[in-house]
Amino acid sequence: MRTEPPGPSEILVSLPVRILTEAPLEPVLSVDGAFGAPGLNLSHWPGNKTPLALKRDLSTGIALAFAELPTEERERLTEGCTALVNNHFDTDGVLSMFTILHPNQALANAPRLLDAAAAGDLFRCPSEEAFVLDSILTAFGDQDRSPHRLELQGLPDRERRQLATEHALAALPGILGGDLAPYESLVQGPLEALRADQVDLQQAALDDLIHLDYVVRTAPMGAESSREPNPHCFDPGRHALWGAHLADRQLVLGPGESGTTCRFLIGTRSFFDMVTETPQPRPDLEALTRELNAVEGTDEAAKVTWRFQSLKGASPELWFGLEGLPDYIEHAGPWLAPSSIDPTRIKSLVVDAVRATWVWPEEQDEDEPLPSTGKVHFDS
């Protein structure tokens, strides 16, 4: 049951903000990251030690639940903590910290914070406002795009993330209050790209395999992205894909005269510690890559070949093309190349890989909840 929010003069904790690369010896209040730090952990990352009663799908949701606890309970949970810490920079982490530091404003804007955190960690697009807030906060951590880029450039990673976090936390009260003018240049490009991607997706055929939490998007023959600059292939971004469909596995095919571009993405719902559903085991991308290369007739060491990212990552993918595709990249166009495999054959091989690791209800322990393939409900 929701309790009354803290009074105007009350703060949840008065702790210095720290970005750490390893767990400290002293107790801390760690948010979003789960890296073995002693003290209170409020995180949805694998291995977290979040109190069961506070668990939510997003770390921001967990922080909001903590903010609603009675004062005595918050003090008990944070007793001895010497800092408010995280081990990385991203939207969900910043919003979790903001919630701890500014509970009144956070609770008053809870739906907006949760939507933005979902845009950041789950690549959702519940609204353009959520996408914009995520884009702004993400830019704060980019040494080339940040409003404070001159201060960030050349700093070691930890120092850069520390400074980016401080700047983002300082800016959030104004951003939530509607002062977006200083950030228009940061969001114009991403927002225009999102809108173009959404239009492109509407032209693609959709195969929805609900029972496998899996969809296939196949573009019309020869279709190219309508984004500027045009990448000359069908390449809708992550936020357009997961904004249009919640399926954890998404195959994107762009058939053309010279072959078919391919991007098979696995979402973060099968990575984070979700409370609304039980994740399914992920398809074996390494085995699938070997099989695709065998059909393609390409060597795994070739310049252009089938490639994959480690399943240990939050949202890995498989593609045909050049090496070096960054983790969690929005668009993959520069790394994609046309495969000679018929799109129908690609779809068949990928769906076989998805089925191979899927746990059907009759195979599941009776004490375990069944996996959800319906709509995901975030924190309330």
pLDDT at 44: 98
Same domain, 151 and 222: no
- pTM attached to this predicted model: 0.91
Beta-carbon-side half-sphere exposure of residue 87 (alpha carbons within 13 Å): 16
More confidently predicted of 77 and 380: 77
Same domain, 202 and 171: no
pLDDT tens for 84-111 read 999 999 999 999 999 999 999 999 999 9
Same domain, 32 and 164: yes
Residues 6+ apart with CB under 8 A from 208: 215, 245, 247
Same domain, 24 and 120: yes
pLDDT tens for 290-344 read 999 999 999 989 999 999 999 999 999 999 999 999 999 999 999 999 999 999 9
Question: Would you say how long the chain is, in residues?
Answer: 380
Give the other-Cβ count within 10 Å of 73's Cβ. 14
Average pLDDT, the chain: 92
Give the domain-ending residue among 130, 153, 179: 179
Res. 362 pLDDT band, cuts 50 70 90: low
Same domain, 166 and 278: no
Q: Which long-range contacts (CB under 8 A, 24 or more apart) does 340-346 make?
A: 340/259, 340/296, 340/297, 341/259, 341/260, 341/292, 341/295, 341/296, 342/260, 343/218, 343/253, 343/255, 343/260, 345/295, 346/251, 346/253, 346/260, 346/262, 346/292
With pLDDT > 70 as the criterion, what percentage of the chain qualifies?
Answer: 92
Helix (H, G, I), strand (E, B) or coil at 181: helix
pLDDT tens for 206-264 read 999 999 999 999 999 999 999 998 888 999 999 999 999 999 999 999 999 999 999 99
pLDDT at 361: 76
Same domain, 336 and 205: yes
In angstroms, the CA 331 to CA 233 distance is 11
Same domain, 200 and 134: no
Give the domain-ending residue among 134, 149, 179: 179
Indicate if the pLDDT at residue 378 is higher than 70: no
Q: For the chain, what is the domain count? A: 2
The two most distant CA atoms of the chain are separated, in Å, by 68
Same domain, 38 and 86: yes
Structural domain for 21, as ranges: 17-179
* Residue 210 within a domain: yes
Same domain, 259 and 326: yes
Indicate if the pLDDT at residue 6 is higher than 50: no
* Residue 95 within a domain: yes
Same domain, 245 and 355: yes
Indicate if the pLDDT at residue 60 is higher than 50: yes
* Residue 380 within a domain: no
More confidently predicted of 11 and 90: 90
Same domain, 31 and 157: yes
Res. 1 pLDDT band, cuts 50 70 90: very low
* Residue 333 within a domain: yes
Peptide bond into 229 cis (omega under 30): yes
Same domain, 257 and 281: yes
Give the domain-ending residue among 179, 205, 232: 179
pLDDT at 89: 98
With pLDDT > 90 as the criterion, what percentage of the chain qualifies?
Answer: 88
* Residue 184 within a domain: no
* Residue 220 within a domain: yes
**Hunting for tokens 């105007």 — which residue is that?**
8
* Residue 8 within a domain: no
* Residue 4 within a domain: no
